[in-house]
C-alpha cells in the first residue's frame, strides 16, 4: 500500500495544484462567492470520510433549535433526485440521502433541505429561518459562510496530510486557513493535556483559529422493529454481536463495542452503501445459523435510514436488530466557550 501511494504522488501533486488554482480563483474574485445576511454555519472537513460532521451538526441543532428557527441544508449524497427539495420524514434515502433523512427523523421540528447548489438552497430558506447549517460544505466555495467549522478526526491525525489519490485530503492542508474554528472530533473522553497539545500541534491552527475537542457519547440500544431499549452496558462477553455498518470510519464504534468484550462479527460496507437484498440476506442467514442463544444485530442511525428501504422489507423484521445512537459532546473544559461562540454569532446576525 505504501508503494502504491508513492506511485500516486505525482497525481496528488496535480490534484493539489488544481485545488490551489481553484481556491485562488475564489479568493481573487475570478469565481464568484456569495455572502448572506442570514446566519450561515458551515461544517466540513479536509479529508474524505467520516470526521463526525453529522454528530457535530446535530450538536449545533440541539444548541440552537429551542430559540431559533433552524434549517439544515445538505447536498443529499446518494439521492436519485435533483435540485432543491424539502425533506419529509416519509421520504426514502433514494429521494433525499441518508444523512438529511436522519436529521429530519431526529429533529422533526426543524427544516431540512437538499440542494446541489447551496446558493439557491439558501435563497429558498433565508426568509423563514434565523440560521442555516451547511452540512459538508467546506469545499463549496460558492457560499461564504458567516462561521466555518473544520473537523479533524482524532483517530486519523497521524495520517499524512496529502491530497487524493495518494492521500485522503480533498484539498491541500493549507486550505484549513479558511476555517474560523477547528474541532478535533472522536477524541478520548478523558484526554491528557499532553495529548491535547500533540493534536493541536498536528493541525497547526492559524492565529485567528480556536481549537476545540469533542468526543462521541453512545446511548442505549434502540430496537429497530420490536423489543425494548437495551443499555449498552448490559452486553457482556456471552453475546455475539453482528455489527452492520456502511459508514466511513467504523473504528470508534468497534472500539466501543469491543469494550463490552462480546464476540463481534463485522459486516463492513463503504460509506453510504446502498444495502442490497443479497447483503442483508447474508447477514440474516449467518445470524440464523448461529447456534448461540445470546446474539444481537447492531447498526448505526445512519445505516438504519437505508435499511428501511422497501426492497429490504421482510428480511430482518423478526430478528433482534438495534441501532446505537451517538451524539457529539464538547469536552467540559471547552464546552461553555464553544457554545458561546456559536450563540454569539447567531445573535449578532439577527
- Residue indicated by cell numbers 422493529: 225
Q: Are strands 321-324 and 222-223 parallel, antiparallel or unpaired?
A: antiparallel
* Class level of CATH domain 2-217+329-348: alpha beta
* Class level of CATH domain 220-324: alpha beta
Task: List the one residue out of 86, 89, 63 whose CA is nearest residue 74.
Answer: 86
Confidence of residue 313 (pLDDT cuts 50, 70, 90): confident
Domains 2-217+329-348 and 220-324 agree in fold: yes
Model confidence pLDDT, tens digit, residues 77-102: 889 999 999 999 999 999 999 999 99
Model confidence pLDDT, tens digit, residues 202-261: 999 999 999 999 999 999 999 999 889 999 888 888 899 999 999 988 999 999 998 877
Each domain of the chain, given as residue ranges in start order, spans: 2-217+329-348, 220-324
Stated pTM of the model: 0.93
Amino acid at each position: 500500500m505504501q508503494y502504491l501511494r508513492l506511485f500516486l504522488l505525482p497525481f496528488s501533486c496535480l490534484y493539489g495544484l488544481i485545488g490551489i488554482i481553484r481556491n485562488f480563483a475564489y479568493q481573487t474574485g475570478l469565481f464568484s462567492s456569495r455572502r448572506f445576511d442570514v446566519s450561515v454555519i458551515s461544517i466540513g472537513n479536509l479529508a474524505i470520510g467520516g470526521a463526525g460532521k453529522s454528530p457535530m451538526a446535530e450538536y449545533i441543532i440541539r444548541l440552537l433549535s429551542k430559540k431559533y428557527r433552524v434549517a439544515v441544508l445538505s447536498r443529499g449524497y446518494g439521492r436519485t433526485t435533483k435540485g432543491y427539495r424539502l425533506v419529509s420524514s416519509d421520504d426514502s434515502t433514494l429521494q433525499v440521502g441518508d444523512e438529511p433523512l436522519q436529521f429530519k427523523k431526529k429533529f422533526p421540528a426543524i427544516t431540512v433541505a437538499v440542494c446541489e447548489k447551496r446558493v439557491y438552497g439558501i435563497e429558498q430558506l433565508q426568509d423563514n429561518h434565523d440560521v442555516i447549517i451547511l452540512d459538508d460544505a467546506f469545499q463549496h466555495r460558492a457560499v461564504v459562510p458567516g462561521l466555518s467549522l473544520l473537523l479533524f478526526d482524532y483517530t486519523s491525525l497521524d495520517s499524512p496530510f496529502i491530497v487524493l489519490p495518494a492521500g485522503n485530503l480533498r484539498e491541500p492542508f493549507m486550505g484549513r486557513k479558511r476555517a474560523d474554528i477547528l474541532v478535533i472530533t472522536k477524541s478520548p473522553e478523558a484526554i491528557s493535556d499532553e495529548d491535547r497539545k500533540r493534536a493541536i500541534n498536528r493541525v497547526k491552527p492559524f492565529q485567528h483559529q480556536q481549537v476545540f475537542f469533542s468526543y462521541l457519547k453512545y446511548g442505549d440500544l434502540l430496537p429497530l422493529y420490536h423489543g425494548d431499549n437495551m443499555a449498552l452496558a448490559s452486553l457482556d462477553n456471552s453475546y455475539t454481536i453482528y455489527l452492520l455498518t456502511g459508514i466511513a470510519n467504523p473504528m470508534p464504534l468497534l472500539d466501543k463495542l469491543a469494550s463490552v468484550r462480546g464476540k463481534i462479527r463485522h459486516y463492513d460496507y463503504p460509506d453510504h452503501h446502498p444495502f442490497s437484498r443479497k447483503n442483508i440476506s447474508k447477514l440474516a442467514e449467518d445470524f440464523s445459523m448461529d447456534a448461540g442463544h445470546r446474539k444481537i444485530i447492531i447498526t448505526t442511525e445512519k445505516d438504519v435510514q437505508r435499511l428501511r428501504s422497501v426492497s429490504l422489507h421482510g428480511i430482518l423484521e423478526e430478528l433482534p436488530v438495534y441501532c446505537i445512537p451517538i451524539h457529539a459532546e464538547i469536552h467540559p473544559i471547552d464546552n461553555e466557550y464553544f457554545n458561546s461562540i456559536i450563540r454569539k454569532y447567531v445573535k449578532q446576525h439577527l
